[in-house]
Chains A and B, each alone.
Chain A
Amino acid sequence: MEKEDLIEALRARFPAEVEAYAESYGDQTLVVRREALRPLMTALKAAPFDYALLLDATCVDFLASESRLEMVYHLYSLSRNRRLRIKASLPGDNPVVDSLVGLWKNADWLEREVFDMFGVAFMGHPDLRRILMYEGFEGHPLRKSYPWRKEQPRIPLKD
């Protein structure tokens, strides 16, 4: 399936939810509304799109007032040998997006990492807590508002 077919098929099913399509250095990118993320991903995982692999999920902090954070997902289709990037904007305060744990199992740790680093809450995640930083760490270190060299006090030893 070529990219035009893909876009048409997606637009037909999600007319309002797909906000834009772009190509950046040859990478196909879809910008979608965050409410539609989960149904769209469900459709993309199934035939005929068949994006079986969630390669990666991460976030970018753009420091803008309206849509500060942007979730970035990379999908890969084994049968069609194609990659796809999905983006969804989130507000800076109280960013919430649907969890994809039900669709891909590695979304569990990926979303925990995004929560840890950016403070994005994932609705429906079974066990949303920090993964790389420790409990008791304050703030979300990959946000642009977090100073690079900021130090935090030592935490007491665990028993």
Chain B
Amino acid sequence: MESRIQKQARPDSMLLNMGPSHPAMHGTFRIMLELDGERIVNAECEIGYLHRGFEKTCENKTYFNLLPYTDRLNYVSPQINNLGYCMTMEKMLGVGVPERAQLIRVLMGELSRVSDHLTCIAAMAMENGAFTVFLYMMKAREFLWDVIEFTTGSRMTTSYIRIGGVRADLAAGWRETVAKGVLETRRVLKDVHGLLDGNQIFLNRTRGLAAISKEDALSYGWTGPCLRSTGVLYDVRKAHPYLLYDRLQFDVPLGEYGDNFDRYMVRMKEMEQSLRLIEQVAALIPDAAPRVQAEGLEPAEAIRRGRLENPRRPVRLSPNLEGSEKDVYPQILTADAPVAVPAKEDTYTTMEGLISHFLFFMKGHGIRPPRGDVYFSVEGGNGELGYYVVSDGTDRPYRLHLRAPCFHLVSALEGLIKGRFVADVIPTFGSMNMIGGELDR
């Protein structure tokens, strides 16, 4: 089957295929170029190589089960994806979230945003030849991911933010880890500003290239840093404040020309604001009450002992994840019964706890929002990340649709690279931050 560009191409022009497997295509993404010499006459983007049927799968999973799928939409900032989904469901269920959990959510969300921007700029700079920037930024990202890893147990697909709160309290010693991460990231940002801002090679490949006007950016449905690089002030955190963003101080950096350099600069400045937010939030999170360091038993060990010893003797279980003990539950998860997973201590030691655990996970029970439809969006790394959920009153979403910010960004790519050189595709595509997971769903 011939593609559109093959049919329309002039007989004397050359067709070049970039992708789907190409080092600069950040995943699997195909651009077909019609070339006149090295100038791009026409371009066609083909997406869908990473299509996993996310929306169809979600229709067949319970509201609780589908959370890990949202991680995989944007594997660099999974927490913001979790957050968007959980807050959509909280809006539908009318659930309040404890303040400590909200603060932790802001902290994790901003850490994810910084790591998202770091990854984007690192890849973009590397493709333009600045490999040092890539290594520096990956280093900073690891320091930030330490916070995430110590608390959630994993680096990328965390499933940490849950409907009604978060999975666990912050890990012991998180203040030092956060301070270290912020310090190292600030250093790297300063270095990268020095390496790139006045770098003629970088400037030649970014400044004035692939500029988009405000009108076009709006018409293409751009949001996030890419829209702000054209000078339009729209940030979901300011326009529709969620969590505690209306209580926190941060600026929304704007660009002017909407070219590759502005997109780079807006992301760099946004990281500084996010670091500011992280520091503010870290100061607001109170120290947790010192936990009683009792020797906890693994559930299997507790069951074995229960057979040998008096089964009515209370045991202290160690939950699977440190920080989600029963006594910290009220601070990090809502108390509304059918929304949050029951505490593991209850599940393993009392009959009622076991029943409520089964009821939560059994088919047809669990989280069942009322009939209706809801849209909610958060500010993701790339822009407005929205979920549209239709509920028919059962324990599975009737329809779940993701408004993926980079779907709209990438739809403008064809127009942006037309008339440019082949080499300009790479910084343009890099500055957009295409994420295959959420683009193809």
Chain A interface residues toward B at CB < 8 A: 24-27, 29, 52-56, 58, 60-61, 72, 74, 78, 81, 83, 85, 104-106, 108-110, 113, 117, 127, 130-136, 141-142, 146, 148, 158
Contacts and interface: CB of A to CB of B under 8 A. Distances in A.
Nearest to A116: B48
A50 B221 CA distance: 14
Contact of B234 (A78, A83, A113): A78
B407 interface: yes
Nearest to A63: B398
Given A56-B401, A133-B51, A104 B219 contact: yes
A74 B403 CA distance: 10
Interface residues of B, number: 42
A74 B386 contact: yes
A52 B219 CA distance: 7
A109 B92 CA distance: 29
Nearest to A45: B219
Given A54-B221, A56-B403, A105-B216, A131 B48 contact: yes
A74 B388 contact: yes
Contact of B388 (A56, A130, A135): A56
Interface stretch (B62-70, B320-328, B371-379): B371-379
A104 B185 CA distance: 39
Given A55-B221, A55-B403, A106-B221, A24 B388 contact: no
Given A55-B221, A58-B401, A85-B375, 11 more contacts: A29-B373, A55-B403, A56-B221, A74-B388, A78-B232, A105-B412, A106-B219, A106-B220, A106-B412, A135-B1, A141-B53
Interface of B: 1, 4, 47-48, 51, 53, 55-57, 59-60, 91-92, 216, 218-221, 223, 232, 234, 239-240, 372-375, 377, 384, 386, 388, 390, 398-399, 401, 403, 407-408, 411-412, 440-441
A132 B386 contact: no
Nearest to A149: B60
A136 B48 CA distance: 14
Given A55-B403, A74-B388, A109 B373 contact: no
A27 B221 contact: no
Given A55-B384, A106-B221, A25 B440 contact: no
